[in-house]
Amino acid sequence: MASSQDIPVLVISDNSRSERRVSPAWIIAQLKTKLEPITGIPVSSQGLSLRVSGSLQSLQQLPDTTPLSRLGLYEYAELHVSDSRPAGLRENFTDVSAVAKYEMPKQEYETRTDSVLAWKKAQKLGRFDPDAPGLEEQKINAIRREIEDRGAGAWIGIALDEPTGKNDGSINGVRYFECPSKHGVFIRPERVEVGDFPVADDLDDDEEF
């Protein structure tokens, strides 16, 4: 039971941070016993430090029979608790993958009336909507929209060197490739000529005399 003489302190460890009230009448051994269930660190492996004037001061040199009244505790002082055990022997409370979990069988979940699945069924959402289009209909609608946007058949997107194109690599808000404005075109594959062509020079005169 807390008394009016108790002092609130911040207990800080690798896996926890909480405010606790301690009694100046306790000895260090009593404090460590009370810190074990809070930090998960056994009494024999606890290293105590107190933050004073911005720096941590170790309390390890003090006997466990030392009263807390001799530590110069003040309200909301930071009491740091370290773990001297090898890393492999420490409990990793942040690794949830190592925690045993209950996995409800699919058939049992489907029969429950208080689940998200039951709520979606009651609200006729998603695949439970009788008016929702089926998978095949959704595919057909997607293909129809693509044909409306780009036209039927295969197209090739090309980024031009000069701003003589019609777009920036996107059509109707759907981006297919990156290029500056008016540097992109989509053309049929049969109109593409592949080769290594020299850069055109506007000063060249193709006429022969």
Q: What is the pLDDT of residues 30-85, one digit of tens each?
A: 999 999 999 999 999 999 999 988 888 999 999 999 999 999 899 999 999 999 99
Same domain, 145 and 167: no
Q: What's the total number of domains in the chain?
A: 3
The reply to whether 204 falls in a domain is no
Same domain, 135 and 168: no
* Tokens encoding 138: 């959704």
Same domain, 12 and 76: yes
Same domain, 122 and 77: no
Q: Which residues contact 20 (CB under 8 A, 6 or more apart)?
A: 8, 9, 10, 11, 34, 38
Q: Which residues contact 169 (CB under 8 A, 6 or more apart)?
A: 157, 159, 175, 176, 177, 178, 179, 183, 184
pTM: predicted TM-score of the whole model, two decimal places: 0.45
Cross-strand partners of 10: 19, 78
Question: Residue 179 is part of which domain span?
Answer: 156-191
> How high is the pLDDT of residue 209?
27
Q: What's the CATH number where 178 sits?
A: 2.30.30.190
Q: What's the CATH number where 27 sits?
A: 3.10.20.90
- Give residue-wise pLDDT tens across range 142-196: 655 655 565 666 778 888 888 888 889 888 788 888 999 988 888 877 777 766 6
Same domain, 165 and 143: no
- Give residue-wise pLDDT tens across range 91-136: 776 777 777 888 899 999 999 999 999 999 898 887 788 877 666 5
Same domain, 146 and 172: no
* Interatomic CA distance for residues 42 and 28, integer angstroms: 14
The reply to whether 209 falls in a domain is no
How do strand 170-171 and strand 55-58 relate by DSSP bridges? unpaired
* 3-state class (DSSP) for residue 4: coil
